[in-house]
Amino acid sequence: KIGVPAVARIFTPFSDQTTRVEDYGDHLLFYIDRCAMSGMRTSERPICYIAIGILQESLRWVSGGLEFRIEEIECIAMGAKSCVFKIDKAPIK
């Protein structure tokens, strides 16, 4: 849990992306309200693979090598207000 808010705190002041995190018990939602990856594009499916990779590797580093399921469930390129990533709290392995 500590890794996701830390990534959000890093993204916002050091990039043009504004981020926030909400806790829903068994999972977190990581929001990118201004997304450099999808802001000027249109797509029928989520396209923020770089953000998923950054989140995955940050969590792997913080957790000592564990992997967590991360899925982009909303994307600005699809017309959503924010890019939203669902992050399960229970590790995959």
pTM of the predicted protein model: 0.86
11-66 pLDDT, tens per residue? 666 566 788 999 999 999 999 998 887 878 899 999 999 999 999 998 998 889 99
Angle between helix 49-63 and helix 3-14 axes, rounded to 10 deg: 130
List the domain boundaries for the chain. 3-91
Is CATH 3.30.70.100 what the domain over 3-91 is classified as, yes or no?
A: no
More confident residue, 14 or 81: 81
Query: From CA 71, how far away is CA 64, in angstroms rounded?
Result: 21
Q: What is the pLDDT of residue 7?
A: 66
